[in-house]
């Protein structure tokens, strides 16, 4: 039998973690319990974070928004601050897994799990989100792209947890797009995905561009070359098709049971074409 702890506050959690460093931390359990069942992990104790108020909920901090790590996807989906400031995140969460998994799983779990297919990650990369890491002694922040170093690998030390994520408001972005390619419409693991935040001028020229692709590399992919290539251009198909070639070079996908590297590479580029529709609407 494995002990299951339900800390009510971070201080209580620190005690538990210091007592036994092989204590696994989880919140929704939608990944951890699957891994336990599959025999892939064998922690000596479990600590469930779902009741620690300090790391739950969405807080407006003026220029930025703080989202607690143990905030469920459903909570974010229904939160008007998130949907008005970061519609690209809301769009991603809307197609994340299934309703019950969204009721359980949390944004912190999605970040720490660090799957290249994690649905909230491309939006967080495109929004230049920062992860707040806390231990009993200190709190620090780092960009999500620095925090995640590989599939399932993050910069998290012993007795540290992710407290939440900070996202700067960026009203200048007037095109916020997310698309996931999966093997079916819902409850699908991403084969490729694209999150995009663009600022279009009144004349339709791209003034700022941040794009991030999921499932086409060991971590979410951003490409300065691609983003620069878009600047000053209009969202029309010919231009996007040209830039798609750059995307194909920027990504480094693998073959797996869901799709070939070739398909992922092609689709990563072609997903740009959908932005032409946003161009028309603006």
Partner 1 sequence: MKIDFRLNGAAIQVDCAADRRVIDLLREDLGLTGAKESCGAGECGSCAILVDGEGKLSCLMLAAQLEGREITTVEGLASEGRLHPLQEAFVEKGAVQCGFCTPGAVMASLDLLRRNPNPARAEIREGLAGNLCRCTGYQKIIDAVEAASKIMQRRERP
Partner 2 sequence: MGEVRRHKRHSEGALHIGASTPRADAYAKVTGAEKFAADYYSSDMVWAGVKRGAAPHGVIKGIFTDEACKAPGVIAVLTHRDIRGSNRQGVVRKDQPVLADKKVRHCGDAVALVLAEDRETLLRALDLIRLDLEALPGVFDVEEALKDGAPLVHEDNAGGNTLLEAHIQTGDGLTAFERCDEVIEGRFETPWQEHAYLETEVGWAQQQNDGKVVIVASTQTPFRDRAEVAEAIGLDLEQVRVIAPYTGGAFGGKDGITVQTLLALAALHSNGRPVKMWWEREESFIAGTKRHPTRLYYRLGAKGDGVLHALAARLYFDTGPYDHLGGVVMTLALEHAGGAYRIPHALLDAWCVYTNNPIGGAFRAFGVTQVTAAMEQMMDMLAARLDMDPLELRLKNALTRGEKTCVGVTLTGSTGLVECLERVERHPLRTERYAWKAAAGPFKRRGVGIAALMHAAGYGTVVPDYANAKIELTPEGKIRIYCGVVDMGQGNASANAQIAGSILNQNMDSMELVLPDTDRTLPSGSASASRCTYTFGNALIGAAEILKNRILQKAADLLMAPSTDDLTLAPGKVVNRATGAQIPLSRLGRLMAESERTAISHFRAPVAKDRLDVTDELRLHGLGHAVISYGAHLAAVEVDEITGAVEVVSYLSATDCGRALNPQIYEQQIHGGICQGLGFALFEDFRVEQGTVKSPDLATYIIPTAPDTPNMESLPVELHEPTGPFGLKGVGEIATNGPAPAVANALADACGIRMFRLPMTPERVLLALRGRETR
DSSP 35-74: HHHTTS---SEEEE-TT-GGG-SEEEETTEEEEETT-BHH
Give the whole-angstrom CA distance, residue 70 versus residue 72: 6
Is residue 2 part of the contact set for partner 1 (CB under 8 A)?
yes
Residues 6+ apart with CB under 8 A from 196: 88, 126, 175, 176, 177, 178, 209, 210, 211, 212, 275
HSE-up of residue 125 (Cα within 13 Å, Cβ side): 29
Is 100 in a helix, a strand, or coil? helix
| Closest CB to partner 2 among residues 137, 184 | 184
Q: Three-state DSSP class for 243?
A: helix
> Contact with partner 1 (CB under 8 A): which of 21, 99, 204, 232?
99
Among 14, 101, 270, 278, binds partner 2 (CB under 8 A): 270
| Interface with partner 2: number of residues (CB under 8 A) | 24
Cα–Cα dist 21/23, whole Å: 5
CB of 78 to partner 2, least distance (A): 20
CA proximity to 248, closest of 272, 275, 277: 272
Q: Does 28 bind partner 1 (CB under 8 A)?
A: yes
First to last CA, the chain: 58
Burial of 128 (0-12, 13-18, 19+ CB in 10 A): middle
- Could you say whether residue 104 binds partner 1 (CB under 8 A)? yes
Min separation Cβ 159 and partner 2, Å: 30
Pairwise CA distance, residues 68 & 163, whole Å:
6
Under the binding rule (CB under 8 A), the answer on residue 159 touching partner 2 is no
In terms of Cα–Cα distance, which of 168, 160, 118, 117 is closest to 143? 168
The 3-state DSSP class for residue 166 equals strand
Among the listed residues 187, 199, 223, 278, the single contact to partner 2 using CB under 8 A: 187
Question: Which position among 126, 175, 195, 259 is part of the footprint of partner 2 (CB under 8 A)?
Answer: 259
Among 24, 81, 101, 266, binds partner 2 (CB under 8 A): 266
Q: Which residue number, 148 or 275, has a Cβ lying nearer to partner 2?
A: 275
Q: What are phi and psi of 269, to 5 degrees?
A: -70, -45
Among 66-74, 143-151, 180-188, 224-232, which window interacts with partner 2 (CB under 8 A)? 180-188
Residue 97 binds: one of partner 1, partner 2, none (C-beta under 5 to 8 A by kind) = partner 1
Report the residue number, 33 or 280, with the smaller CB distance to partner 2: 280
Binding residue (CB under 8 A) for partner 2 from 5, 58, 181, 235: 181
Least Å distance, CB 129 to partner 2, is: 26
Residue ranges that bind partner 1, judged by CB under 8 A: 1-6, 28-30, 33-34, 37, 46, 48, 50, 74, 78, 97-101, 103-104, 185-187
Residue ranges that bind partner 2, judged by CB under 8 A: 181, 183-189, 191, 257-260, 262-263, 266-267, 270-271, 273-274, 276-277, 280
């Amino acid at each position: 039998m494995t002990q299951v702890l339900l800390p009510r506050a971070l201080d209580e959690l620190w005690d538990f973690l210091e007592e036994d460093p092989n204590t696994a931390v989880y919140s929704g359990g939608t990944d951890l319990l699957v891994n336990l069942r599959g025999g892939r992990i064998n922690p000596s104790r479990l600590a469930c974070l779902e009741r620690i108020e300090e790391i739950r909920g969405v807080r407006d901090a003026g220029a930025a928004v703080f989202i607690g790590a143990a905030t469920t996807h459903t909570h974010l989906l229904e939160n008007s601050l998130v949907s008005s400031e970061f519609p690209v995140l809301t769009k991603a969460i809307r197609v994340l897994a299934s309703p019950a998994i969204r009721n359980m799983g949390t944004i912190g779990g999605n970040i720490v799990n660090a799957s290249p297919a994690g649905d909230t990650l491309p939006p967080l990369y495109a929004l230049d989100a920062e992860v707040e890491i806390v231990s009993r002694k200190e709190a620090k922040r780092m960009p999500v792209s620095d925090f995640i170093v590989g599939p399932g690998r993050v910069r998290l030390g012993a007795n540290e947890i992710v407290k939440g994520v900070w996202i700067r408001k960026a009203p200048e972005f007037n095109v916020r797009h997310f698309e996931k390619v999966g093997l079916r419409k819902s409850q699908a693991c991403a084969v490729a995905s694209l999150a995009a935040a663009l600022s279009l001028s009144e004349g339709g020229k791209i003034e700022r561009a941040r794009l991030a692709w999921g499932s086409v590399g060991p971590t979410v992919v951003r490409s300065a070359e691609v983003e620069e290539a878009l600047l000053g251009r209009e969202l029309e198909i010919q231009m996007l098709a040209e830039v798609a070639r750059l995307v194909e070079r920027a990504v480094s996908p693998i073959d797996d049971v869901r799709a070939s590297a070739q398909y992922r590479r092609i689709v990563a580029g072609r997903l740009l074409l959908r932005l032409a529709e946003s161009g028309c609407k603006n």
